Amino acid sequence: MSFPNSPDQNRLLAALPVAELERLAVHLELVPMPLGESIYGPGEQLQHGYFPTTSIVSLHYVTASGASAEIAGVGNEGVVGVSLLMGGDSTPSSAVVQTAGLAYRLERRMLMEEFNRDSAIRHLLLRYTQALITQMAQTAICNRYHSVEQQLCRWLLETLDRVPSGQFVTTQELVANMLGVRRETITQSAARLQQAGVIRYRRGHIAVLDRSGLETRVCECYAVVRKELNRLLTDVQRRQEGLPAFR
């Protein structure tokens, strides 16, 4: 926060040993991420990896009939473009900016080069990939078993972790698209949460008033994903705490 815009605002970049970050710094390009912008579409060859700082990107899939649902979200804890690392270069899903903000991006070639070096960043990116896998797996479970209200709470908490202000600019329609449910269903769940004083919303804005209220209502999926992310990225703390970089 003291540095208004710094790569350190992204947890992955922040976790890199100083030497590696310096090597990258020149190539990191700070770009605006406007709401709704498409980062890539299905089958599209990625040109950059994106390290969000204040923005959130939603990885989602659009069915043949035009319906869509979020598979995973990426905020300042991660990177958009894992398929570059895996070598597939594209995915059947798409990536869209869900919350406007900023991201550092790195050209495909640079990203691959760093990744193919036996570097700290590879280690880190692979661990993040596993966290992403966990998130997807849990989304599958959540879609199978949990109520829309629980899923809404999960979505709010995950967003809150990435936008600490707790003030989100979004409509119920957009949230419904994320969760892959109808807008009316969100209206009802949101009304119940507002009734309970957990959130407050008005035309295009949602504010979280009571985080613990969300936590009591949410399903286990939220905690599972969060715990696993923290386990996998504990290295993230290292440099910041002045401990020796990992490995």
Partner DNA sequence: CCACTTATGTGGGCTAGCACACAGACCGGC
Partner DNA sequence: GCCGGTCTGTGTGCTAGCCCACATAAGTGG
Q: Which residues bind a copy of itself (CB under 8 A)?
A: 59, 61, 63-64, 67, 69, 71-72, 82-83, 85-88, 91-93, 116, 118, 123, 126-127, 129-134, 136-141, 143-145, 180, 220, 224, 227-228, 231-232
- Report the nearest approach of a copy of itself to the CB of residue 102 (Å): 26
Whose structure tokens read 């270069």? 89
Residues 215 and 150: beta-carbon distance below 8 Å: no
Question: Residue 17 is encoded by which pair of tokens?
Answer: 């040993």
Residues 80 and 72: beta-carbon distance below 8 Å: no
**Taken in order 87, 226, 164, 214, is the CA torsion positive or negative?**
positive
Among DNA, a copy of itself, none, partner that 188 touches (CB below 5 to 8 angstroms by kind) = DNA
| Interacting span for DNA (CB under 7 A) from 87-95, 98-106, 169-177, 207-215 | 169-177
- Report the nearest approach of DNA to the CB of residue 32 (Å): 19
With binding defined as CB under 7 A, does residue 41 bind DNA?
Answer: no
Shorter beta-carbon distance to a copy of itself: residue 133 or 196: 133
How far apart (Å, rounded) are the C-alpha atoms in residues 88 and 45? Answer: 9
Please state, in angstroms and as integers, the Cα–Cα distance from residue 208 to each residue in 17, 51, 77, 119, following that order. 35, 25, 21, 40
Shorter beta-carbon distance to a copy of itself: residue 116 or 167: 116
